[in-house]
Every structure is written in structure tokens, then in C-alpha cells.
């Protein structure tokens, strides 16, 4: 077995985990991948904090204070930071709320929506502080590569990763580059 030298971390911020699902869609190529890399923090390992890594892949935009802490931890630890998916790149569907007043949003969800017990907006110090707008991650930290798509296909992810791990400038085929 070759030595696994490359450490890779992934996380989902304000995303739906769809990009992670698409990542799993590389199917049996995962076996090839784990020959090349070692996973650090990722939902696959359940490691809670990111250590020094070669590559960090971030799904989702930034919608609350916790997202910023995680994102900064990734930027600090990862030599190469990759934004994956529409949400990390332009805020995506969570940013649909950007033009709705945050308090209106909360009231709609927790108070006006039928069938909810209590009708109270949660307010616990354990809960991350929400921002009034959702932002793409490159508006908070420097991002080295972008992999668009909602989600990008397994093939696009594979193409990207194999290019990156081989030291090539990642380049998608025309049909692999899409924003939806």
C-alpha cells in the first residue's frame, strides 16, 4: 500500500449535505481515494476539529457565528481550501432569506406556522448567533478553488480531486461545470 500522505478535511456549513452525498457518489472510486488520502475532520470520521491538512473542502455558506468559527479553523489548518457547491459559492438557497427581515423569518417559522407547540422563538446561549444575511465563504476567508454545482456531480468531484491530488490545475469539462 502506498503511504497516505495527503490529509483531507470536509465540512458542511449552511448547506444541505447534498454536496457530501454527491461526494459519496464517486462510488467505488472512494477506494482509490482512500489509498491516496487520509481523512481528518469530516462527517465520515466524526472528528470534531480540523488538524493540519493539505486540502479542506467546505460545503455551504456562512449563516451564523458558528459557521465562521468552523470556516476559520479550516482556513487556518488547510493548505488548500476548496468551496464546493452553490451555497459555498454564492450563498445558494439559504440566501433566499437575505431579503427577508430575520425576525420576520423567525416569526414565520416558530410562531405563525401551524401545529407548533408553544410558538416560542428558541433563544438559548448554546445556539449559534444567526446573521441577518447568508454569505458565500469567499466573502469571509480566502478560497483557493471553486467547484460549482447544486451539487456538483460525482464525476465532477472526482475529476477535480484527481487533478488536484496529481498536482494539476483542476479543470472541469464543459458538461461538468454547472450552477444547478
Partner 1 sequence: MNKTITIDGLSVPFQEGQTIMDAALAAGVYIPRLCHNPEFKPHGSCKLCTVKVNGRNVASCTMPAVEGQQVLNDTDELNADRLALTQMLFVEGNHLCPACEKSGNCQLQAVAYYLGMMSPHYNHFYPQREVDASHPDVILDRNRCIYCELCVRASRDADGKNVFGLSGRGIQSSLVVNSASGRLGDTSLAATDKAVQVCPTGAILQKGKGFTVPIGRRVFDHHTIKEIQTGGGHD
- Contacting positions for partner 1 (CB under 8 A): 83, 86, 89-93, 95-96, 98-99, 133, 135-136, 138-139, 143, 145-148, 150, 174-175, 177-180
Residue 53 or 89 with smaller CB distance to partner 1: 89
Residue 64 or 98 with smaller CB distance to partner 1: 98
Please state at what angle helix 29-36 crosses helix 154-165, rounded to 10 degrees. 30
DSSP states of 38-79 as a string? EE-SSTTTT--S--SEEEEEEESBEEEHHHHHHHHHHHHHEE
- Please state the closest distance from residue 89 (CB atom) to partner 1, in A: 5
- Please state the closest distance from residue 8 (CB atom) to partner 1, in A: 20
- Please state the closest distance from residue 90 (CB atom) to partner 1, in A: 6
Residue 38 or 154 with smaller CB distance to partner 1: 154
- Please state the closest distance from residue 175 (CB atom) to partner 1, in A: 6
Q: CA Rg, the chain, in Å?
A: 18
Degrees, nearest 5: CA angle 176-70-134: 65
- Distance of alpha carbon 31 from its chain centroid, rounded? 22
Residue 60 or 148 with smaller CB distance to partner 1: 148
Degrees, nearest 5: CA angle 3-20-132: 125
Amino acid at each position: 500500500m502506498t503511504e497516505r500522505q495527503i490529509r483531507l478535511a470536509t465540512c458542511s456549513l449552511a448547506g444541505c449535505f447534498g454536496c457530501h452525498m454527491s461526494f459519496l457518489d464517486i462510488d467505488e472510486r472512494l477506494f482509490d481515494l482512500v489509498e491516496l488520502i487520509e481523512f481528518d475532520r469530516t462527517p465520515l470520521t466524526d472528528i470534531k476539529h480540523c488538524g493540519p491538512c493539505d486540502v479542506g473542502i467546505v460545503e455551504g455558506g456562512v449563516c451564523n457565528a458558528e459557521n465562521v468559527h468552523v470556516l476559520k479553523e479550516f482556513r487556518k489548518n488547510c493548505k488548500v481550501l476548496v468551496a464546493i457547491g452553490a451555497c459555498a459559492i454564492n450563498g445558494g438557497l439559504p440566501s433566499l432569506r437575505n431579503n427577508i427581515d430575520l425576525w420576520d423569518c423567525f416569526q414565520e417559522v416558530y410562531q405563525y406556522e401551524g401545529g407548533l407547540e408553544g410558538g416560542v422563538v428558541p433563544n438559548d446561549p448554546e445556539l449559534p448567533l444567526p446573521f441577518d444575511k447568508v454569505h458565500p465563504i469567499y466573502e469571509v476567508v480566502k478560497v483557493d478553488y471553486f467547484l460549482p454545482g447544486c451539487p456538483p456531480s460525482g464525476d465532477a468531484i472526482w475529476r477535480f480531486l484527481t487533478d488536484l491530488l496529481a498536482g494539476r490545475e483542476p479543470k472541469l469539462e464543459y458538461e461538468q461545470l454547472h450552477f444547478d
